[in-house]
A and B are shown apart, each in its own frame.
Chain A
Amino acid sequence: MQSNSLAGRAARLLGLGAGIALLASAALAEPLKVGFVYVGPVGDHGWTYQHDQGRLALEAALGDQVETTYVESVPEGADADRVIRQLAASGHELIFTTSFGYMNPTVRVARSFPNVRFEHATGYQRAPNVSTYAARFYEGRYVVGLVAGRMTKSNVIGYIGSHPIPEVIRGINSFTLALRSVNPEAEVRVVWVNSWYDPGREADAAKALIDQGADIILQHTDSPAPVQAAQERGVWAVGQASDMARFGPDAHLTAIVDIWDAYYIDHTKAAIDGSWTSQDTWGGLADDMLRLSDWNAAIPADVVAEAEAAKAAIMSGELHPFRGPVRNQAGEVVVPAGDIVPDGDLLSMDWYVEGVQGSVPK
């Protein structure tokens, strides 16, 4: 009886060991399942499209080592919770949730699945198995600001904002600082459409700004309608998230393009080789997390050269868009000469720099 039990226990242990070995070898051979949650349809331009480009780059780079899944048009809120949970429960070991509104659902689901790694874009809540990542799009806006300062004739720039949140305000300020560094006469007029995505309202806002004398239209919204409106009215525009040149070939100066390829590849590799840790990434031009699309051929060569030089200087760390002196709208120096606005203040920015018309909606 005693020996029997001992033998039984030994056998069970052996069996368990073999089982673990089997599992381990299976894990080595099995591809890592990576899930993506998108807020919009993939389409062929814009925020979600760029994330999907990153997913495709990941598949191309890692081949058999990964198996990717995506769920598109997932509303922020309760549906997101369900979708993320479903991905985690169906064997995905690394899940990218690509919209700000997925923050709470991501953190909540992550608590139930401690062995699954989560990456949440543009959020600020982390956990041992939740990383966050975002891009310093304001660096691109700075470079664009230099070009706008040289190209404007009316000295009025129209800026279509989505929602008055720090991300958008930071972009407006970065753009304005660059604009006025080369053209102190120029001013920025902001119109809020209170939506990330409403082609009709975006077009209306663009037309309103053009009617007010703007000859360059910037946008921090997702549809190509403003670029199209600029093309129709014969003014310049700057694309958002993706190259939007085909919507306004003459109007499109350049676009600030989101690039997630390298980030997704690196972090998936880390998950495969076990070096993945929870961290916060805020990468910029130097990290190849954003790029500027091809310059419009109508931009003079010296303007392009100046912009490219600024881009290189930002990448090398020599130039920081938010290096003082920075003045607020009242003309008071709020960042002394030489100082750089710390990341914490950039992340909570809720005031305009000098040169922006109107006030931040509170």
Chain B
Amino acid sequence: MEMLDLTVAVLVSTIAAATPLLFAALGELITEKAGVLNLGVEGMMLVGAISGFATAVTTGSATLGILAAVLAGAGLALLFAVLTLSLLANQVATGLALTIFGIGLSSLIGRGYVGTPLDRLPRLDLPVLSDLPVLGPLLFGHDALVYLSVALVFAIAWFLGRTRPGLVLRAVGESHDAAHAIGYSVIAIRYAAVVFGGALSGLAGAYLSLAYTPLWIENMTAGRGWIALALVVFSTWKPGRVLLGAYLFGGVTILQFHAQNMAAFQVPSQILAMLPYLATIAVLVLISRDVTRIRLNAPACLGKVFHPAG
């Protein structure tokens, strides 16, 4: 029973650790599927985190906080879109600049909020279900954002694979010239994808500052934006695998904290700390080792500048 409790506890912590990665990676997946590489995820997450936190503290409403984070992430992404899609700036350089800008901007906004305590985003509390042993905490004990993140995986998979707008989005990422020739507005579709990606990055930030560790500290994302970026590539742009990757990463992160205190795992903690990265990359590379399929999945126009005249 004790082992069971511990397992449940590990799984519950895993879900919390994976959720911000999942949001950010799903957002980036949509952006990249439309052919745009936005390396500014970390920056958008940070601005989302502080906007959500500041709004939640000021208004007392977590819902408004989440909304503000989504808008802030989307706003920053819009800036990126204007620079790269309309002004044709280099996407890699602009994305990196966006991250650096986001770090600075979030620190500036956050000056008055460092160390302000905030109540955690409320968890779902269903009368009977949440009290069930094992299943209760595992399935019915989370906050709304956790359910939203999982629902998004299915929604995005369905959107990309089963709907006409999803097909158009993929076409834009695959061959912008062809999409343009049939008459689709490549730029407008990419704008929408980038802004949606930013909104999800903002949401990922809000999860950190409102639910995961409900506080604001400078640079609190601590590199999670970069992990999300890597997840997208290693999962070969498939929403289901992004989910797997995020949960695997979260799970190994939590497990290695437990392994440090088990006699059987007397390995240096630095090696254990690398495990989440190693395990996630290894598993995702293994399941996606079919090179042809990776080529099929990777958006062929990723990162390429589109100019209608050219």
Contacts and interface: CB of A to CB of B under 8 A. Distances in A.
Nearest to B6: A211
B81 interface: no
Contacts of A194: 269-270, 273
B117 A247 contact: yes
Interface in B229-270: 253-254, 257-258, 260-261, 266, 268-270
Contacts of A212: 6, 258, 261
B304 interface: no
A44 B261 contact: no
B253 A41 contact: no
Contacts of B63: none
Given A192-B270, A200-B208, A204-B253, 19 more contacts: A41-B114, A43-B114, A43-B115, A44-B114, A45-B115, A192-B273, A199-B215, A200-B212, A200-B213, A204-B254, A204-B257, A212-B6, A223-B215, A225-B215, A228-B215, A229-B213, A247-B117, A247-B215, A361-B269
A214 B270 CA distance: 23
B215 A195 contact: no
Interface of B: 5-6, 9-10, 13, 17, 20, 107, 114-115, 117, 120, 208, 212-215, 217-218, 220, 222, 224, 253-254, 257-258, 260-261, 266, 268-270, 273
Contacts of A362: 268
15 contacts: A190-B261, A193-B273, A199-B217, A199-B220, A201-B253, A203-B213, A209-B257, A211-B6, A211-B9, A212-B6, A223-B213, A246-B117, A247-B115, A357-B261, A358-B260
A41 B107 contact: yes
Given A44-B114, A200-B220, A201-B222, A189 B212 contact: no
A208 interface: yes
A205 interface: yes
B120 A208 contact: no
A362 B208 CA distance: 32
Interface string A56-77: 0000000000000000010000
A201 B261 CA distance: 16
A359 interface: yes
Interface residues on A, range: 35 or more
A208 B270 contact: no
Contact of A361 (B5, B220, B257, B268): B268
A189 to B, nearest CB: 5
Given A194-B273, A199-B213, A205-B257, A44 B107 contact: no
A200 B115 contact: no
A232 interface: yes
B207 to A, nearest CB: 10
A207 interface: yes
Given A203-B213, A224-B115, A225-B213, A208 B222 contact: no
A255 interface: no
Interface string A219-236: 000011100110010000
A260 to B, nearest CB: 19
B6 A41 contact: no
B222 A164 contact: no
A112 B55 CA distance: 49
Contact of B261 (A191, A204, A207, A223): A191
Nearest to B119: A232
- Chain B, interface SS category: helix
A40 B219 CA distance: 11
A209 B273 CA distance: 16
B120 A207 contact: no
A-B pairs with the 4 shortest C-beta distances? A208-B257, A211-B9, A192-B269, A44-B115
Contacts of B212: 200, 203
Contacts of A247: 115, 117, 215
A75 to B, nearest CB: 12
A167 interface: no
B17 A204 contact: yes
Given A191-B261, A200-B220, A211-B6, A361 B270 contact: yes
Contacts of A357: 261
Contacts of A73: 218
B208 to A, nearest CB: 7
B254 A208 contact: yes
A200 B13 contact: no
Contact of A43 (B218, B266, B270): B218
A280 interface: no
Contacts of B9: 207, 211
Contacts of B6: 211-212
A320 B303 CA distance: 63
A41 B115 CA distance: 12
A194 B257 CA distance: 11
Given A44-B114, A200-B220, A247-B117, A224 B269 contact: no
A46 to B, nearest CB: 9
Nearest to B273: A194
B217 A359 contact: no
A60 B112 CA distance: 23
Nearest to A202: B213
A288 interface: no
Contact of A200 (B117, B218, B222, B269): B222
B25 to A, nearest CB: 16
A92 to B, nearest CB: 25
A199 B17 contact: no
B28 to A, nearest CB: 19
B230 to A, nearest CB: 17
Contacts of B222: 195, 197-201
A200 B266 contact: no
B287 to A, nearest CB: 26
Contacts of B261: 189-191, 212, 357-358
Nearest to B14: A204
A73 B266 CA distance: 36
